Structure 1
Amino acid sequence: MAAKTDPADSWDNEDDAIITPDDEEIDDAEFTEGEATPKVSKKKIPKVEENRSKREHVNVVFIGHVDAGKSTIGGQIMSLTGMVDKRTLEKYEREAREKSRESWYLSWALDTNQEERDKGKTVEVGRAFFETDRKHFTILDAPGHKSFVPNMIGGAAQADLAVLVISARKGEFETGFDRGGQTREHAMLAKTAGVKHLVVLVNKMDDPTVNWDQERYNECKDKILPYLKKLGFNPAKDLTFMPCSGLSGLGLREQISETICPWYRGPAFIPFIDELPSLNRKLDGPFIMPIVDKYKDMGTVVMGKVESGTARKGQNLLVMPNRTQVAVDQLFSDDYEVTSVGPGENVKIKLKGIEEEDVSPGFVICDAANPIKTGKIFDAQVVILEHKSIICAGYSAVMHIHCAAEEVTVKALICLVDKKTGEKSKTRPRFVKQDQVAIMRIECSGMICLEQFKLFPQMGRFTLRDENKTIAIGKVLKVIE
């Protein structure tokens, strides 16, 4: 029997044809920091000095085609905000000059391993942070190369704000944006990962082929805008375009001077993201943190972004889907040790009670009393974006959901959904093809953690990839326990 789903779940209009933004977040209850605890114990407990970061945490992912200048901009921001000292940068500059790669030295602040530096390509998601008076920003520098898209998805899954870097240099913008370039796929994956705001930085404006030319800037902007609109970004609210130069740092911290660029009088990048409205975080929900990476360091250390709730040192938690009980030994928020962490923070947690080999990226640490749902089979609404042939029952692909990547198979197609009206077909389709929306039952090869999209968007949206391409995106309608 076909699973019944609520027609309200389907998309309303063409603008949201890709995936609905998070306006269906759960209402945030009012929450006051540091809830009062009931007085029970008579024994005096030594007071632990509470330390946690006071600034709002915002995770910024830099995405875009290979060589657009993502790592260089990231390095330049760290240099401008004083997170990398002058001596270190001078050292990088010397080393880069010796390899006759002068223009790469800023990217070395984020591309730290030798392979990335030799090839000039980011492979893993680089991490760094910088602070303004009001906010604490974590930079996630995603790889642009198409072989490393799975790593990029892991980075985008942790982000609140995406910065799409495009190169204005003659020929480079076109290479990145045309079929086969990564600009389109990255923008789409960021949207699917639930990024609320997209800043498009038109980089390399100081290149001799561009020379801060307004026509070239507008040409890049006009070419990419229709595509971003189609993804569901609203140009009035969720999109901002800015010219800049990563190598010289113009347009990143200070407004570009009128002599260089008389036609752009908007804000510079750092002040702009600092002024963005606060994100509403689920402070009072149960603790949930998908694990993006893990390593051994006198114990098991896991990394990820807290999606909801808070955790304190010494607290007992569960690692799902294996239901392993663990205790929090130490907490680090962007390399600072703290006693508690909250939603939106990028953290490292040292755990007691589990071996490093028993943890995989995609596992989720959660509240022991209120664990996250796990399952192998679920119903989902899926949009086929790009696929040459048809998809029918038995088709398999790799699914990326939050930080997990799992092989999945389509068990059954339940119905087609009309993109314009949201109506569901009465008969079961035998297949689906490109640009269609279908509700299908999907089976994973192993147990995974997931949640209904309606209840918890971050844990309920996914992408399907096959042969190094993103072929579909979807949202979980219900988990079949």
Structure 2
Amino acid sequence: MAMDILRFATAGSVDDGKSTLIGRLLYDSKAIFEDQLEAVERTSADRGEEYTNLALLTDGLRAEREQGITIDVAYRYFATPRRKFIIADTPGHIQYTRNMVTGASTADLAIILVDARKGILEQSRRHAFLATLLRVPHLVVAVNKMDLVGYEESVFQAIQDEFTAFAAKLDIGDLTFIPISALHGDNVVERSVNMPWYEGPSLLHHLEHVHIASDRNLIDVRFPVQYVIRPHKATDPELHDYRGYAGQVAGGVLKPGDEVVHLPSGLTTTITHIDGPNGPVQEAFPPMSVTLRLADDIDISRGDMIARPHNQPRVTQDLEAMVCWMTDVRKLTPRMKLLIKHTTRTARAMVKDVHYRLDINTLHRDEQVDGLALNEIGRVSLRVTQPLFVDDYARNRLTGGFILIDEATNGTVGAGMIISSG
């Protein structure tokens, strides 16, 4: 049986120990090569450091990223016998808001690091807000550097109380607090003997066991068609008339025999077969990539949607969305024309209005704005040239999210979360 994958994003202020924590997870799960470890140990010794500096395992990636050599978010991969993990290491500064949006948009869980000596900072609140805005289902507040405050329970409890009070203003589904020392490994992989008052799991144990299967929408069937498979030149007579519709399941559970509706035509038909990468499957659910075969010959193309007849997405050309603007080349302003990519459909869009800009530190809405600049988030109205099949982002992150593209450069300039549509 294939292991499931947990995607998690890390966020924290400068020197909160994010690199050390990721290094500790990689080191203790034996996800690094011997030559990497030897190089880190050698560098640490050359610097006269008392401990092996595990932060060096990720600092190389960060240096490349900040110089613009690699992508904006550094991804690391590791696995334990229970689960595979993909880490999105996102910078903490406010000027890197777009990077956190990118990393958190696909995350099942977010880890917010807090320095035990400094407590909850403005950046901690901002990271928590962004995680909830992007509907990350699980949030872990890792109170780091407990060794520097004598492993005192009262310090941890004060931070937990303050953050819990702030979190009451946000829509957080699952909130967990873990006291750790990334440098010494306390409560990172193994339970710490230095904090006998803490009765919860270690961070890795929590990551291995947090339940994510029910986070995905298994109620609303959504299947955006990505590609039509018609092997006309197949020598096998059975494949000669094959017509399949390939894509990734964005919601619900699909089975052979199910009645479905095709959008935009509104025609109904029945699923006859579901083909997976290794042959037929009896059911498909998020995030599986499959090919559907249907009983009727309907004109279906890329960008169309397959759903249930009595449970359909909204079909609309008008969108209300929270948008994070991701370029400093120009601001997002009314009347601006862009491309919008929503699931597998790409269309032209025009900005009708920018209603307000959100101060992500205070949650204040500034309605006296003429547009959104780099890393700013606000509520925007869009008009699209062809109908999109959408759900609210709060209900389905895949059918409720989109990106905005500059037609001239083909670069991604914005990311949006649909909040309602006309």
Report the TM-score when normalising by structure 2.
0.59
Amino acid in the other structure paired with 1:249: G
Task: Quote the Cα distance in structure 2 between the aligned partners of 1:63 and 1:448.
Answer: 36
Structure 2 gaps of 5+ residues are 227-247, 254-276, 290-300, 308-312, 324-332, 356-365, 370-377, 405-414
Other structure's SS at 2:96 match: helix
Task: Quote the Cα distance in structure 2 between the aligned partners of 1:67 and 1:401.
Answer: 37
Task: Quote the Cα distance in structure 2 between the aligned partners of 1:114 and 1:66.
Answer: 12
Alignment RMSD (CA, Å): 4.9
**CA positional deviation for 1:110:** 3.3
- What aligned pairs does 1:259-408 form with structure 2 within 5 A after superposition? 260-280=194-214, 281=216, 285-286=222-223, 343-344=286-287, 370=305, 378-380=318-320, 394=334
Counterpart residue number, 2:20: 72
Counterpart residue number, 1:292: none
Counterpart residue number, 2:297: none
Counterpart residue number, 1:475: 418
Distance 1:229 1:114, change over 3 A: closer
Structure 1 gaps of 5+ residues are 1-52, 290-304, 311-337, 348-365, 384-392, 414-430, 465-471
Distance 1:194 1:103, change over 3 A: farther
Larger RCO: Structure 1 or Structure 2 (Cα < 8 Å, ≥ 6 residues apart)?
A: 1
Q: Is 1:226 matched up with 2:188?
A: no
Counterpart residue number, 1:249: 185
* TM-superposition CA deviations, 1:405-461 (whole Å, max 9, x none): x99745386xxxxxxxxxxxxxxxxx9579xxxx97713799998722176344425
Distance 1:197 1:118, change over 3 A: closer
Contact 1:375–1:447 (8 Å) recurs in 2: no
Q: Is 1:93 matched up with 2:41?
A: yes
Task: Quote the Cα distance in structure 1 between the aligned partners of 2:58 and 2:78.
Answer: 13
Contact 1:376–1:443 (8 Å) recurs in 2: no
Counterpart residue number, 1:299: none
Other structure's SS at 2:86 match: strand
* TM-superposition CA deviations, 1:76-134 (whole Å, max 9, x none): 11111111134412312323554678879423433444725999xx9832212222333
Q: Is 1:200 matched up with 2:151?
A: no
- What aligned pairs does 1:141-152 form with structure 2 within 5 A after superposition? 141-152=89-100
Distance 1:394 1:441, change over 3 A: same
Which stretch has the larger CA shift, 441-450 or 86-95? 441-450
Counterpart residue number, 2:382: 443
Contact 1:154–1:402 (8 Å) recurs in 2: no
Which stretch has the larger CA shift, 108-117 or 271-280? 108-117
Contact 1:376–1:446 (8 Å) recurs in 2: no
The size of the alignment, in residue pairs, is 313
Distance 1:63 1:215, change over 3 A: same
Distance 1:441 1:193, change over 3 A: closer
Task: Quote the Cα distance in structure 1 between the aligned partners of 2:166 and 2:225.
Answer: 33
Amino acid in the other structure paired with 1:243: P
Q: Is 1:58 matched up with 2:58?
A: no
Other structure's SS at 1:206 match: helix
* TM-superposition CA deviations, 1:263-300 (whole Å, max 9, x none): 212211111222222423468742589xxxxxxxxxxx
Contact 1:411–1:443 (8 Å) recurs in 2: yes
Distance 1:370 1:114, change over 3 A: closer
Report the TM-score when normalising by structure 1.
0.52
Contact 1:374–1:448 (8 Å) recurs in 2: no
Distance 1:203 1:408, change over 3 A: farther
Q: Is 1:130 matched up with 2:78?
A: yes
Counterpart residue number, 2:152: 213
Amino acid in the other structure paired with 1:263: W
**CA positional deviation for 1:242:** 0.7
- What aligned pairs does 1:397-436 form with structure 2 within 5 A after superposition? 409-411=351-353, 432=367
Amino acid in the other structure paired with 1:61: A
Task: Quote the Cα distance in structure 2 between the aligned partners of 1:200 and 1:61.
Answer: 12
Q: Is 1:184 matched up with 2:125?
A: yes
Other structure's SS at 1:200 match: strand
Contact 2:349–2:383 (8 Å) recurs in 1: yes
